[in-house]
Amino acid sequence: MKLTKLVVSLAALGLSHCVLASADFSFSKQSSSDAVGNTPSHVIFIDDVDNLDGAASIINRASNGELTKLIELNDFTGEAGSTLHLQMIAGVESVLVVGSKHDGSLTKTDLQNLGGVIAASLSSTKKDVDTTVHIDNLNTEIDAPSAFVAQGYHLRHYSFDKYKSVKDDGQSKVNFVNADADSASALYNNDLKYVAQGVHLARDFATEPGKSLYPEVFADSIKATFKGVDNIKVRVLDVDDMEKLNMGAHLGVGNGSINDPNLIIVEYMAGEKDDAPIVLAGKGITFDTGGISLKNNDGMWAMKADLSGAAAVAGAMHAIANRGDKVNVVGLMGMAENMPSQDAIRPGDVLETMKGTTIEIISTDAEGRLVLSDTVYYAQQEYSPKLLLNIATLTGSAARALSDEYAALVTRNFDFSSEIMQVGERSGEHVWPLPLHPNHFDQIKSPIADIKNSGAGNPGASIGAAVIGTFVDEDLPWVHLDIAGVDWLSSEIDVAPKGSQGWGVRFMDQLVRDYADKDLSR
Ligand code: BES
Ligand code: ZN
Ligand code: MN
């Protein structure tokens, strides 16, 4: 019996806990040359404790040098990201001092990180109401720096409290004060805000339990999210459609679950009519038990986040489409639940793919590559993309190799890999290359089918990439991202609390900014 049916509409409607309830930000020019203003809470930056400037010097003067004294007493050095929280100084209820000391000028990422630090600090001191953030003395060459500080704040201001009886996120009103107010407001409201919302959307999907988020619910939520957005078309291929397309690998993965698999397609065609699109394809396993090759229970709960690739694709599409870029981008989300049952695929089974070739199942736990093999093939047949990216929580091997700092990047070409690493640098989400060697393809030869879905073991991340790569045209610029290590944070970072960080939204958003207008034909 399908008890979970009961929660379908509820979950589809109530999924996003805070995507639209972002903090209430304003940008104003009020100069801080005379007074700090009249909100109960202020944030000021200090990069040089011996030479206070901007709002810091005003507060210092107004407090007759108490600020300098407190900096000394607390051994505050101004190190970037360090904080000092002061109360009742110069008649102001709350002053959060944030260090911004840096050896050069602050980058976009540095600015976002400072915004994240502010959000974390203010919510921990429950002073996240009516705050003025003084940007004026930040040392940066970035245009409209306030917008990036605001975006960092927005990124960090996240809490998944939908199942808590006591909710922990309050609405914040934050005013960013700087001469850049007009341009920062435009940049944040027409662009950066949507990226942060996309990240929150991805976190919501990754954090939602498997009980209430399975392929059909995911599809309903995607339809709701993109309803009314210009130039967007959402289509969902169900089991019948996928059978007609002969997607036996994807269907095989979903077969053990009472919740049917599907393939969700979000087309955003706002560019030139005959410009080939960029296709972003995400692994969307709503829960990965391992199937008949059942996983050990240790940490299995985290496999509710095995749809992080698909979630990130959804978030990136949200950012790109709402910003209104004149580009063609297609998001594909290959959804299934990997369950053991009498209908589940077995180790040793042979599945037929959409390409017409066969895959022998060695482990039913190597399911992501099965789904994506059909998804990337479909992407090429249907869209002839100019660039194809797939993103997946694919292997423990990638997680062990690179942990929290880098997602694993696999391409067929060294130069292309270094180009794509730069996308990571610009986006604030970093990638590091792993190899794809002809031997990796040899290791997935099967005695009874065309290939098998895993090799003898090492190197697991490359073998996983080789399986998917078998279905990708060798001439197509192809980016494979294995995010198994970065999707779930065991401890907080500046722009994200611990838990899902929505990894990939900012990366793919940046990729589209950088590559949508590029001619990649060779
Ligand atoms: N979803 C897992 C990979 C994973 C592991 C993601 C840890 C996040 C954290 C994937 O489906 C999987 O089970 N991979 C296996 C492949 C193996 C059976 C060839 C793995 O990496 O162990
Ligand atoms: Zn998986
Ligand atoms: Mn698995």
Report DSSP letters for 311-334, one per residue: HHHHHHHHHHHHHT-S-EEEEEEE
CA distances from 511 to 250, 272, 346, 484, 506 (A): 27, 18, 38, 20, 9
- pLDDT at residue 257, as a whole number: 98
Identify the pLDDT of residue 22.
54
The full DSSP string for 479-514 is EEEE-TTTSEESS-BTTB-SEE--TTHHHHHHHHHH
CA of 486 to the centre of ligand 2 (A): 14
Give this prediction's pTM: 0.96
- Residue 123 is predicted with a pLDDT of 83
Quote the CA–CA distance of 207 and 202 in Å, as a whole number.
Answer: 9
Burial class (CB in 10 A: 0-12, 13-18, 19+), 141: exposed
Locate 188 and state its tokens. 């944040």
C-alpha 149/C-alpha 109 separation (Å) is 9
Question: Which entry of 101, 162, 295, 412 is annotated as an active-site residue?
Answer: 295
**Secondary structure (H, E, C), 369-426:** HHHHHHHHHHHHHHHCCCEEEEEECCCHHHHHHHCCCCEEEECCCHHHHHHHHHHHHH
Distance CA 317, CA 309 (A): 12
| Pick from 195, 194, 202: nearest CA to 307 | 202
Nearest one of 435, 471, 264 to 357, comparing CA atoms:
471
Give yes or no for a contact between 455 and 431, defined as CB atoms under 8 angstroms apart.
no
Measured on CA atoms in the order 362, 363, 364, 369, is the torsion positive or negative?
Answer: negative
- What pLDDT was estimated at residue 521? 79
Mean pLDDT by 10 residues, the chain (522 residues): 43 43 82 67 95 95 96 97 95 95 94 97 73 94 98 96 83 90 98 98 98 98 98 98 98 98 99 96 99 98 98 98 98 99 98 98 98 99 98 98 96 97 97 98 98 94 98 98 97 97 98 93 71
pLDDT of residue 278: 98
Distance 482 CA to ligand 1 centre (A): 10
Nearest CA to ligand 1 atom 16: 366
For residue 254, give the DSSP letter.
H
Contact between residue 308 and residue 393 where contact means Cβ atoms under 8 Å apart: yes
Contact assessment for residue 387 and residue 278, using Cβ atoms and an 8 Å cutoff: yes
Is ligand 1 within 6 A of the CB of residue 393?
yes
Beta-bridged to residue 488, according to DSSP, are 500
Domains of the chain: 21-197 (3.40.220.10), 210-515 (3.40.630.10)
Residue 256, ligand 1, Cβ within 6 A: no
> Residue 98 corresponds to which tokens in the numbers above?
């944030």
Q: How far is the C-alpha of 221 from the C-alpha of 201, rounded, in Å?
A: 10
Length of the chain: 522
283: CA distance to ligand 3 center in Å?
11
- Marked catalytic residue, from 323, 369, 506, 513: 369
Q: Kindly report whether the peptide bond that precedes residue 459 is cis, defined as omega within 30 degrees of 0.
A: yes
**Is residue 369 annotated as a catalytic residue, yes or no?**
yes
Contact between 495 and 181 under an 8 Å Cβ cutoff? The reply is no
> Of 365, 454, 468, 503, which is best to mutate to test ligand 1, by the most ligand atoms within 8 angstroms of its C-beta?
365
Burial category of 222 from C-beta neighbours within 10 Å (exposed 0-12, middle 13-18, buried 19 and up)? buried
